[in-house]
Amino acid sequence: MRINVLAGGPKENRPDDLFQQPGEWVGADRGAYFLMGAGINPLFAVGDFDSLSEKERLELADYQRNRGFESYPARKDYTDTALAVQYAMKAGADEIVLYGATGGRLDHELSNLTIPLLPGFAGLVGRFSIVDAQNTITYVDHSHNAVKRLPGHHYLGFMPLGIVDNFSIIDAEYPLTLKENSGIMYSSNEFVGELVHVSIERGIVLATQSTDRRY
């Protein structure tokens, strides 16, 4: 089962076909309000909803009265987006695609990119991706060691997250081997074939596929 999660990031960063994506939906904070505006009744709406007015929050709660709605305090352990991803995990999704997670506040964006490192979020690698109008972000580790080329994406990048041991990019245009941990973004790599394989002894590496913006 695929579950899409919509966070409250800027509309201009969304793919043009966002609301035509297959699968169920979960809304995080204002993302749930955006889904309501598009006529989509998500499985669940979650967050502190501090980005909504009281009128908007009540409107959303009423819209979700026959599905899920949970309001959290502003001070909590996880962000609204992480809570929404966690709900998708608990619902048994074998594919989770997060939209609306980039292009706004930088602290929110960096937090969203590192969700797979959070305690209690083990098992996301291989079934979690973040998508916007120019980028698709996936994750690789010891068990999930290949990145498949996506149509319309030209550039490939890798960034080790947290503690990563013995990371190698094997069959891309620019191979690389790192013996020690590094938080550097290795960008502007390219595919040679349809797959790029990596080797990782321990840890999680973020993988980006990107295209230049057309003006």
Element spanning 205, H or E: strand 195-210
Last residue of a domain, one of 133, 157, 190: 133
Tell which of 116, 133, 150 closes a domain.
133
**What residues make up the domain containing 209?**
135-215
**SS3 state of residue 66:** coil
* Same domain flag for 114 and 145: no
Return the amino acid letter for 58.
Answer: L
| CATH number for the domain harbouring residue 182 | 3.40.50.10240
Whole-model pTM: value is: 0.94
From CA 77, how far away is CA 61, in angstroms rounded? 23
pLDDT value at position 214? 62
Dist CA 160 CA 133 (whole Å): 23
| 115 and 148 both lie in a single domain | no
Residue 148: half-sphere exposure toward Cβ, Cα within 13 Å: 5
Q: Do residues 20 and 97 share a domain? A: yes
Tens digit of pLDDT per residue, the chain (215 long)? 999 999 999 999 999 999 999 999 999 999 999 999 999 999 999 999 999 999 999 999 999 999 999 999 888 889 999 999 999 999 999 999 999 999 989 999 999 999 999 999 999 999 999 999 999 999 999 999 999 999 989 899 999 998 899 999 999 999 999 887 778 999 999 999 999 999 999 999 999 999 987 64
